[in-house]
Structure 1
Amino acid sequence: MGMQSMVTKGWGESKKTWHIAGPAILTGVFQFSLSFVTVAFVGHIGEVELAAVSVVQNVIEGFAFGVLLGMGSALETLCGQAVGAGQLNMLGIYMQRSWVITGVTALILTPFYVFTSPILKLLRQSENISVTAGKYALWVIPQLFAYAMNFPLQKFYQAQSKVWVMTMIAGVVLAIHALLNWIFVTKLDYGLGGAAIVGNISWWLINLAQMVYLMSGFFPESWTGFSWLAFTSLSGFIKLSLASAVMLCLELWYYTAVIILVGCLKNPEVALSAISICMNYQLWTLMIALGFTVAVSVRVSNELGAGHPKAAKFAVIVSVATSSFLGLIFMAVALIARKQFPKFFSDQPDVIRETSKLGYLLGVTMLINSIQPVLSGVAIGAGWQSLVAFINIGCYYLLGLPVGAVLGFKLKLNAMGIWLGMLVGSILQTIILLCITFKTQWQKEALQAEERIKTWGGAIEPRSSP
């Protein structure tokens, strides 16, 4: 009977997890595929253009994306725990506060786009790639502000498990994006400028459709319109936003640092193209893991907010087990198809050969990246962002990158050595997070969530009396 009830309980939790993870995965895959499609079209313009767009996407946009996604992720802790505690009236205010913070952050980040070319030259990237990347970065500035609006909206919907509409919007926009790229980049031959403008249109279409959904009356309790309260009590909100941003950025910038190191190798065009193809595949599967990050974050924050520590712990176990199983499948596919997948992106024999060599490391990376983001989701749901930020610094920057630099440059293993170092840091970080997660006292976390809700909810905006 005990075993049967355990299976029943596991099946019930799995359904709750997939109810959030399924559409979150599809939304992530669709939205990530916007850049995937752009790279696929640009790759057929030329080697320098492909390398330039890859560097902008992974270094400049990756940097901005990480900061803004991290800033928006504070909402996952606050909104998720508020939903668990039944304080829906605070969600709209939280989202607007987040918009204020992400909007100002986007303004601060704009100079990175404006000065992309000199920044890349400073990072010792080649002249051709730096100049081409600088032009492209200027053209995609509107996407920076689209991210600033998009992430808080997404977290608002996810906390309430309202995710299917976001998925449908992202799917429709992806189809439009592919069509527009075919028209402007392939048929009309507008080159990089055409690709950038199409990307801008697509991201703003997503925001427009999500705002229409928000204002269509589907959220009577959590959205009561724009409020001046969005500009109050920002200091504490900024603290949690910064902790979330630092935690996430340290993870995303890890890949940025790898791209920069590879750009310093001899013959960087081939190495960069090979790494960027692998990163595109790896990030595509990472989107699936990030769906579980969202699901476990929502489940943990909801259950802690509702004062159910055992349910929170069980949600973690189910999510980690499911994502690990999926990671094994991804690894097997990467190993089997390692000689075929580079051909989708490039016709250059050198690039195809170099990418195939990285296939073994790509497989192991996919397995690790199926487990690690779920553990980060637990951290966000429970509000441990600051702790994870310190772990990331140690594993990634004090171990992974130095090991990669030694293997890549000193031992002449080139791109493979740099990736191997990155993998060492990721494996250590995953082991540490697993130990922390399974030694956590969930009862204590539930009490902290209750305290957080009192501070953020009751003290900031009391419920309106009937």
Structure 2
Amino acid sequence: MASAALSSTLSRESADSFWDDDDVPAHRTDPYDPESTHLARSAGPDGRSGLADSPDGELDSLMPGGGLRSAHLGAARAENGQRADDYLHGADGRLGHGGGGGEFGGREAGKRLREREMERAFRGWPSCWQIWGEILDQMELGAPLSAANLLSFARFLFSLAFLGRRSTLLLAAAAVAITFTNVTGFSLLIGLASGIEPLCAQAHGAQQPKTMGLLLRRSSLLLTLASIPIAILWFNSQALLLAAGQDGPLVSEAATFILWLLPDLFLSALVNPLRIFLRAQGIVRPVLVGAALSLAVHVLATWLLVAGPVRLGCAGAAAAASISDLFLWLLMLFYLHCFTDVPRRCGLLVPLSFSATPLTPAAAAAAAAAAAGVSSPRSPRPSISSTFPISPASPASPLSPTRHLSARPSVLAQWGPLIRMSLPACATICLEWWCYELCMLLSGLLPDATTSVAALAILFNLDSILYSLTAGLAAAAGTRAGNLLGSAFPILARNAALVALGCSLLLGVTQLAVLWAAREPLGHVFTQDAAVLEVVTALLPILGLLEVFNSVQTVMTGLLRGCGRPDVGMYVNLGAFYVLGLPLGLGLCFLADLGLLGLVLGLLAAVVTCSFFTVSAVLSTDWKAEASKATARIGPLPVAAIADVLSPRGGMVGEGMATHRRNRVEEGMYGVREEEEEGEEKNGAGEREQEMAALTGSRLNKFDQVL
């Protein structure tokens, strides 16, 4: 369809004629002047860039194509260097395709490679190297996240185990309290925090670190404010549970657990946004290490406060949860400040001015001159507060910090994009979560309520364990899609979505096979009651089938959220779970007299419906339009960073996380590049850079019109 038309339009001949440089300024004729460029030190004696003689690693870092390996400028690595050199500079050794020497040579290389990548991607499906590399990228992100989710879920199991050893009353009270706090508190905070997931991922892809810092602070403030009415509700939990008909002694212990969990509520308002903030940048292993260490702290604190010398009961278990979350938050902050430059790059430590007025071009130029130490007769004295002037290649966006930023006005202003993402994302998570909790309550209305509740609790615990694995893949897929859309690589985002769909289906089938094979022994892990074991063994195959579709719909919902479309998941979950699944489950359970089987079949119907509509939404996505929306939402990728995106530091595009690990060792390149750019401004090269930025931006606009 459109692929054939675009592939014919974007043939190599038409692309080459499109990039003819008749309008290149005369002063850019000799782009490799050592006095004004960065790449002069790597240029050969004939003025060429020296790509043909560069080592394989350097060549790969410049030409990663579509997700993996340098396959777009030729299949053979031996001829890649010569072809790239000729492609960029022409047969006579001069820059013939895109103008601009020095760092602009790399930028034009990025644009040419981007054009090639898009042209090739429109012609057909991604190559095997691209698919394999995308799988590696998503697994490198998803595996640590899945493991961290499992460790977080293990804390809940350890708390119940310690309380169950004390008494059955404490165990039941903790179960009621955890259900109450999940429904009324933690589900809301997790949902609201996920609103910054697409914004942070796209901002990282667009290399807008200051925007990410603002989003982190805004989301933390939003969740803290949302925790206040939740805390008021928790203070009245005892009266609410008594009104719901719960037993008096059980309600007393459950209310104690809830009140002692209040500090953890406010800690979750800080931990959840920080975790997403790190994930958007591909920083996932420290999150895994932090989850493991916090689990160890949780087990130790629970033993001391529940089974050890203190013996506080439910209060001790809740206090242990707060202690472990506080430890996790402090540990992540310690890692950020001591082992990364994220706080500096994201403006988390920079004193900011108290003006929210956008900079005019004249003020931006004056601020740039002041930052470079160059004064002009009309430029005002630099303020003692830090400013971030608008780059000529990066105009302001609704979220971009290309303004005078302030800890107060900037954090408290421009909440619209965050609210528009957070509310539907919260609704998406809560609608599904609450449906499972409603099914648990409804199972207590069956004739054999004890057996039904126990069996369904075992099934839902197994589902939660498997969901932890699926949620890691969903977060990785959403992060990848957001990074690529923010970097203006819609075709690579489409490829990432297709890979995520295949991985989710494979994961779901694997979970089905495990549940089917282990349906006999799994129940014995939780109980020895014969009646409960019979129900669990009969329903485990149906749960396995549910996990196949649940894996697909969870990952596709994560993808839609990463693309900035959480409203799709909200509408799908609302219709699937509450219009179809829950009424069908009630009818089968009570009218058709199928009992617990009817409730599970209703959930299966809801999940199948969700998977169908979410897959349809992903496959019908206009990826180019989503990339344009991401650019309008976050701001465009700075011209100076296009070549860096194509040789990624954060695993966004390129040879996968192996390149990411290699390049993370060279973190000093940030400071070197900034110093070199300041040196160019001092030498008067800033004006030429602005001119070339405008030139290359106009060419990209022409290219987008062709698309």
* Superposed counterparts of 1:88-107, under 5 Å: 88-107=209-228
| Counterpart residue number, 2:582 | 401
The partner residue of 1:158 within 279, 283, 287 is: 279
1:218 paired with 2:350, answer: no
Question: 2: distance between equivalents of 1:135 and 1:345?
Answer: 26
1:438 paired with 2:619, answer: yes
Relative to structure 1, the CA distance from residue 77 to residue 266 in structure 2 (aligned partners, 3 Å threshold; closer, same or farther) is same
Conserved 8 A contact 2:505-2:552: yes
The partner residue of 2:160 within 39, 45, 50 is: 39
Question: 2: distance between equivalents of 1:94 and 1:116?
Answer: 32
Question: 1: distance between equivalents of 2:592 and 2:169?
Answer: 27
1:286 paired with 2:436, answer: no
| Counterpart residue number, 1:112 | 233
Q: What do residues 187-225 of structure 1 show as CA deviations (whole Å, max 9, x unaligned)?
A: 555433332222221122111211222333531312432
| Counterpart residue number, 1:460 | none
Question: 2: distance between equivalents of 1:368 and 1:114?
Answer: 39
Question: 1: distance between equivalents of 2:597 and 2:259?
Answer: 32
The partner residue of 1:420 within 581, 584, 601 is: 601
Question: 1: distance between equivalents of 2:289 and 2:150?
Answer: 12
Larger radius of gyration: 2
Question: 2: distance between equivalents of 1:267 and 1:146?
Answer: 40
Q: What do residues 386-441 of structure 1 show as CA deviations (whole Å, max 9, x unaligned)?
A: 22211111110111111112222233333332222122111111111111111111
Q: What do residues 282-320 of structure 1 show as CA deviations (whole Å, max 9, x unaligned)?
A: 111111111111111111111111111110011011112
1:8 paired with 2:8, answer: no
* Superposed counterparts of 1:114-263, under 5 Å: 114-123=235-244, 129-188=250-309, 190-216=312-338, 217-219=340-342, 220-225=344-349, 227-228=407-408, 229-263=410-444
Runs of 5+ unmatched residues, structure 1: 458-463
Conserved 8 A contact 1:101-1:238: no
Look up the SS of the partner of 2:345 in the other structure: coil
Question: 1: distance between equivalents of 2:234 and 2:452?
Answer: 24
Question: 2: distance between equivalents of 1:365 and 1:61?
Answer: 23
With 364-373 and 102-111 compared, the bigger mean Cα shift is at 364-373
Q: What do residues 150-204 of structure 1 show as CA deviations (whole Å, max 9, x unaligned)?
A: 1110111011101111110101111232333344434555433332222221122
Conserved 8 A contact 1:181-1:198: yes
Deviation at 1:363, TM superposition (A): 1.6
| Counterpart residue number, 2:353 | none
Question: 2: distance between equivalents of 1:422 and 1:61?
Answer: 20
Relative to structure 1, the CA distance from residue 251 to residue 103 in structure 2 (aligned partners, 3 Å threshold; closer, same or farther) is same
Between structures 1 and 2, the one with greater helix share: 1
Question: 2: distance between equivalents of 1:236 and 1:326?
Answer: 33
With 387-396 and 51-60 compared, the bigger mean Cα shift is at 51-60
Deviation at 1:31, TM superposition (A): 1.4
The one-letter code of the counterpart of 1:110 is A
The one-letter code of the counterpart of 1:424 is A
The one-letter code of the counterpart of 1:243 is P
Look up the SS of the partner of 1:401 in the other structure: helix
* Superposed counterparts of 1:359-370, under 5 Å: 359-370=540-551
Conserved 8 A contact 2:184-2:230: no
Conserved 8 A contact 2:142-2:472: yes
Conserved 8 A contact 2:163-2:170: yes
Q: What do residues 51-99 of structure 1 show as CA deviations (whole Å, max 9, x unaligned)?
A: 4333332343244222111111111111111111111121111100001
1:312 paired with 2:493, answer: yes
Look up the SS of the partner of 1:225 in the other structure: coil
Question: 2: distance between equivalents of 1:267 and 1:112?
Answer: 32
Conserved 8 A contact 1:124-1:263: no
The one-letter code of the counterpart of 1:224 is L
Look up the SS of the partner of 2:428 in the other structure: helix
The one-letter code of the counterpart of 1:440 is T
Question: 1: distance between equivalents of 2:182 and 2:436?
Answer: 12
Deviation at 1:239, TM superposition (A): 2.8
| Counterpart residue number, 2:59 | none
1:55 paired with 2:185, answer: no
With 33-42 and 288-297 compared, the bigger mean Cα shift is at 33-42
Conserved 8 A contact 1:76-1:298: yes
Conserved 8 A contact 1:296-1:315: yes
Aligned alpha-carbon RMSD (Å): 2.8
Question: 2: distance between equivalents of 1:426 and 1:47?
Answer: 34
Deviation at 1:335, TM superposition (A): 2.2
Q: What do residues 29-54 of structure 1 show as CA deviations (whole Å, max 9, x unaligned)?
A: 11122112223333444555434333
Conserved 8 A contact 1:40-1:345: no
The one-letter code of the counterpart of 1:318 is V
Relative to structure 1, the CA distance from residue 168 to residue 53 in structure 2 (aligned partners, 3 Å threshold; closer, same or farther) is same
Q: What do residues 112-146 of structure 1 show as CA deviations (whole Å, max 9, x unaligned)?
A: 32333443455555666545433322222222112
Conserved 8 A contact 1:372-1:430: yes
| Counterpart residue number, 1:461 | none
Relative to structure 1, the CA distance from residue 253 to residue 232 in structure 2 (aligned partners, 3 Å threshold; closer, same or farther) is same
Relative to structure 1, the CA distance from residue 324 to residue 23 in structure 2 (aligned partners, 3 Å threshold; closer, same or farther) is same
Q: TM-score, normalised by structure 1?
A: 0.90
Relative to structure 1, the CA distance from residue 194 to residue 57 in structure 2 (aligned partners, 3 Å threshold; closer, same or farther) is same
